[in-house]
Structure 1
Amino acid sequence: MQSRYRVEGMDCASCAQKIDTAVRRIEGIEEIAGSATAGTATVSQGAEVDLSLIKTRIESLGYKVSWKANSNQTGKSYGNTQQSVFGRDPPIRPRPAKLP
């Protein structure tokens, strides 16, 4: 199973590594990929792992965490998009005009 978390306050590689180390110590965690630039963590875990334990572990480090289950938990397929994490479409930013 895989779950995605939004982690507020994770804004550097050191923060991401701290979260990685703490979450990997939970029995049943298979993989974790944290992104400081996106402020997200994607965790692959066995079915026996309580998702609230992962959230609590990250919060114990001083971060604010929110999560939304992906297709492996709900049966709905959101894909690997920002919408599946934040529940809304990502902002569309226009490209700057090229000057002659």
Structure 2
Amino acid sequence: METSYDIQGMTCAHCARSVSEELSAIDGVTSVAVDVAAGTATVASASILDENAVRAAIEEAGYVLARPGLLPLL
């Protein structure tokens, strides 16, 4: 399953790496693709992720989850 998250504050490749590393550390995450220009992270996982864990990971990287609770991509 893939879910896309809007993230505020990313401006460069370092931002993308930080967000990717933190999101990848969440149990069940199989891959992360961060698009700095779009301000999004697309996360592939075995099951639906806990929104609080996603928010905490993004905040740990130094950014803000802009729109929580987005639906999985079909």
TM-score, normalising length: structure 1: 0.63
For 1:70, the equivalent position in structure 2 comes to 72
Structure (1 or 2) with the greater strand fraction: 2
1:1-100 matches, cutoff 5 A: 1-47=1-47, 49-65=49-65, 66-67=67-68, 68-71=70-73
Aligned residues: 72
Q: CA RMSD in A?
A: 1.7
Q: Mark the runs of 5 or more structure 1 residues left unpaired by the alignment.
A: 73-100
Indicate the percent of aligned positions where both proteins have the same amino acid: 31
Secondary structure of the corresponding residue to residue 58 of structure 2: helix
State the distance in 1 between where 2:44 and 2:51 align: 11
Change (3 A) 1:16 1:48: same
Moved over 2 A (4+): none
Counterpart code for 1:35:
D
TM-score, with structure 2 as normaliser: 0.82
Q: Tell me, which stretches of 5 or more residues in structure 2 are unaligned?
A: none
User: Any conservation in 1 of the 2:35–2:41 contact (CA below 8 Å)?
Assistant: yes
Task: Give the deviation of 1:61 after TM superposition.
Answer: 2.3
